């Protein structure tokens, strides 16, 4: 079948022939909107990938086994690193289940890839195929093919992974326009699970998304300059703070993890991996003089989680925490950069099954192509956009409760605006929001709106150039809001 597929589709043959011996095709998945960030990380000196091509919710690249190891160690903004095992075309004239079984069984030498006693798992996604529409069918027939191949070679079938544990050989399959691609998942657990977290706050932004946002905000360059300061006035459990500190000290995000699936594979090169780990350890350094990261939050419990995680990451020397309302936070000096994920009325729901929100790995974002058609409301005037969103989303309580929640949300952004104007004159502020109605309280015009999809939610990273305001002017500006609240 592989010969037939290559003859039908010469692109498959060319992809194999282009690579030198010992090199692989890889795919790094990510949150939609961060593809260029991941591409820049792959091209950097720490990874050195080749043939880098950003796609939808991911980036393809090539390199030897060491490049794959480095990608897992150093990628900050990616979700997983997948290594391509094989590709073939599915014959639309045959029954889908039979064709998947035959294609999967012939696509790799499974007894050589799965050692005796090891477990495997299969995740699948299907888009726009002629006679294959079920991801479940693809997964089931792929498992059947692998088990039969192992049984024929050894007389016994491999076992599934233990509940709650990553398989020794996690596999991922995509079927797109009848092209079946089979990958080994080198990362296993999502790369956003760095390993320094002691506990997760329920509204925490995941680490890969936070790192990507920091890159878009320019912190990866600003942190090299002496005296650079980043502030997060609503830091929660400190994800932005920790990721910013790791960037400033060149700490590899993968250096906290203790287990990787590829260390169980027959072609694992232990010497090469030890060299990658040693290089990551040697790359760590103290931050440039005066470089600091400051965080504030009104919730003491969230700050307690942040402190524990900051200490676990070893970043306590360059991170300062403050407890209180952001409008009352007085900074030692104006920061150059403000990055925050303020409340906007909806929690990001990026779970274990689909951290990217893209549907590429472990979940689905909905119907095919969903997401792009509904983004026009971000370009509408903020009042019209907010009204449209309010009409489209059913209320969860009475009008009084909705009004109270809306008033509290507006007051939060009002206070954030006062903080920016009083404490951050001259800074660039990057604020994440999935609700244009919430941003009205900021009373500032964004200079740039960068689309991101996080946890299946269409968001915008909004950039503002902050102009200062003295306390007298700020007080006058806040009086109408206070009177309005009292009137209620």
Edge-first strand order for the sheet with 229-232 is 319-323, 292-297, 229-232, 337-340, 428-433, 457-465, 448-454
Task: Verify that 241 and 132 share a domain, yes or no.
Answer: no
Whether the predicted pLDDT of 61 surpasses 70: yes
pLDDT of residue 11: 54
Stretch 27-56: mean pLDDT, rounded? 97
Task: Verify that 134 and 228 share a domain, yes or no.
Answer: no
Dist. CA 151–CA 139, nearest whole Å: 18
Task: Verify that 24 and 70 share a domain, yes or no.
Answer: yes
Indicate whether 167 belongs to any domain.
Answer: yes
Whether the predicted pLDDT of 4 surpasses 60: no
Q: For 67-108, how does the pLDDT look when each residue is reduced to its tens digit (9 = 90+)?
A: 999 999 999 999 999 999 999 999 999 999 999 999 999 989
Task: Verify that 355 and 214 share a domain, yes or no.
Answer: yes
Task: Verify that 314 and 173 share a domain, yes or no.
Answer: no
Domain boundary among 185, 215, 235: 185
Tokens standing for residue 296: 């504030």
Indicate whether 162 belongs to any domain.
Answer: yes
Indicate whether 276 belongs to any domain.
Answer: no
Task: Verify that 239 and 158 share a domain, yes or no.
Answer: no
CATH of the domain at 50: 3.30.2130.30
Tokens standing for residue 402: 């909705």
pLDDT of residue 159: 84
Edge-first strand order for the sheet with 78-89 is 50-54, 58-64, 23-30, 78-89, 179-185, 169-176, 120-127
Indicate whether 384 belongs to any domain.
Answer: yes
Q: How many domains would you assign to the chain?
A: 2
**Is residue 37 very low, low, confident or very high in pLDDT (cuts 50, 70, 90)?**
very high
**Is residue 3 very low, low, confident or very high in pLDDT (cuts 50, 70, 90)?**
very low
Indicate whether 63 belongs to any domain.
Answer: yes
Tokens standing for residue 378: 């971000």
Stretch 17-24: mean pLDDT, rounded? 85
Cα 69-171-157 angle, rounded to 5 deg: 120
Lowest mean pLDDT among 18-32, 38-52, 227-241, 347-361: 347-361
Stretch 33-41: mean pLDDT, rounded? 98
Task: Verify that 129 and 234 share a domain, yes or no.
Answer: no
Indicate whether 264 belongs to any domain.
Answer: no
Q: For 378-393, how does the pLDDT look when each residue is reduced to its tens digit (9 = 90+)?
A: 333 333 333 334 444 4
pLDDT of residue 5: 45
Indicate whether 84 belongs to any domain.
Answer: yes
Tokens standing for residue 132: 């294959």
Stronger pLDDT, 400 or 154, i.e. the higher one: 154
CA neighbor of 276 nearest in space, from 25, 66, 49: 66
**Widest distance between CA atoms in the chain:** 82
Task: Verify that 178 and 212 share a domain, yes or no.
Answer: no
Please state, rounded to an integer, the average pLDDT across all residues of the chain: 84
Task: Verify that 175 and 236 share a domain, yes or no.
Answer: no
pLDDT of residue 174: 94
Tokens standing for residue 337: 């950069």
pLDDT of residue 319: 98
Tell me the percentage of the chain whose pLDDT exceeds 90: 71
Task: Verify that 357 and 483 share a domain, yes or no.
Answer: yes
Indicate whether 279 belongs to any domain.
Answer: no
Stretch 176-203: mean pLDDT, rounded? 87
Answer whether 262's CB lies under 8 Å from 170's CB: no
pLDDT of residue 17: 59
Question: In Å, how far are 10, 187, 223, 339, 419 from 312, measured between CA atoms?
Answer: 51, 22, 21, 22, 30
The range of the structural domain enclosing residue 323 comes to 207-250+285-487
Task: Verify that 244 and 353 share a domain, yes or no.
Answer: yes
Dist. CA 146–CA 167, nearest whole Å: 14
**Is residue 440 very low, low, confident or very high in pLDDT (cuts 50, 70, 90)?**
confident
Stretch 414-431: mean pLDDT, rounded? 96
CATH of the domain at 239: 3.40.50.150
Task: Verify that 148 and 228 share a domain, yes or no.
Answer: no
Stretch 458-472: mean pLDDT, rounded? 84
């Amino acid at each position: 079948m592989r010969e037939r597929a290559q003859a039908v589709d010469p692109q498959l043959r060319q992809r194999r022939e282009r690579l030198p011996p010992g090199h692989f095709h890889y795919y790094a998945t990510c949150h939609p909107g961060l593809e260029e960030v991941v591409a820049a990380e792959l091209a950097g000196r720490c990874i050195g990938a080749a043939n880098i091509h950003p796609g939808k919710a991911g980036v393809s690249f090539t390199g030897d086994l060491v490049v794959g190891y480095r990608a897992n160690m150093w990628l900050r903004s990616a979700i997983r690193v997948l290594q391509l095992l094989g590709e073939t075309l599915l014959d639309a004239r045959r029954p889908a289940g039979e064709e998947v079984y035959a294609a999967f069984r012939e696509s790799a030498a499974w007894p050589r890839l799965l050692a005796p006693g090891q477990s495997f798992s299969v995740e699948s996604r299907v888009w726009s195929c002629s006679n294959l529409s079920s991801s479940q069918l693809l997964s089931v027939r792929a498992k059947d093919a692998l088990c039969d191949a192992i049984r024929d070679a050894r007389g016994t079938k491999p076992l599934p992974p233990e509940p709650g544990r990553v398989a020794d050989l996690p596999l991922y399959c995509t079927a797109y326009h009848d092209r079946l691609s089979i990958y080994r998942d080198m990362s296993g657990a999502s790369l956003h699970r760095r390993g320094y977290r002691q506990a997760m706050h329920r509204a925490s932004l995941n680490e890969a998304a936070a790192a990507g946002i920091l890159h878009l905000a320019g912190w990866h360059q600003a942190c090299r300059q002496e005296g650079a300061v980043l502030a997060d006035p609503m830091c929660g459990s400190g994800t932005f703070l920790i990721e910013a500190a790791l960037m400033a000290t060149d700490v590899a995000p993968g250096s906290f993890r203790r287990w990787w699936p590829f260390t169980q594979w027959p072609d694992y090169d232990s010497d090469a991996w030890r060299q990658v780990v040693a290089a990551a350890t040697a790359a760590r350094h103290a931050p440039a003089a005066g470089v600091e990261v400051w965080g504030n939050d009104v919730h003491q419990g969230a700050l307690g989680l942040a402190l524990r995680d900051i200490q676990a990451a070893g970043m306590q020397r360059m991170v300062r925490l403050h407890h209180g309302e952001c409008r009352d936070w007085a900074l030692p000096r104006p920061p150059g950069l403000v990055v925050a994920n303020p409340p906007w009325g909806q929690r990001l729901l990026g779970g274990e099954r689909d951290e990217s929100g893209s549907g590429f790995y472990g979940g689905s974002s909905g119907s095919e192509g969903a997401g792009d058609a509904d983004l026009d409301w971000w370009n509408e005037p903020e009042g019209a956009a907010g009204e449209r969103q309010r009409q489209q989303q059913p209320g969860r309580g009475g009008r009084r409760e909705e009004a109270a929640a809306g008033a509290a949300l507006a007051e939060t952004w009002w206070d954030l605006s006062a903080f920016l104007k009083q404490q951050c004159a001259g800074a660039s502020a990057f604020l994440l929001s999935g609700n244009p109605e919430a941003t009205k309280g900021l009373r500032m015009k964004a200079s740039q709106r960068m689309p991101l999809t996080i946890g299946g939610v269409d968001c915008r990273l909004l950039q503002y150039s902050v102009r200062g305001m003295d306390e007298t002017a700020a007080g006058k500006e806040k009086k109408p809001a206070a009177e309005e609240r009292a009137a209620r």
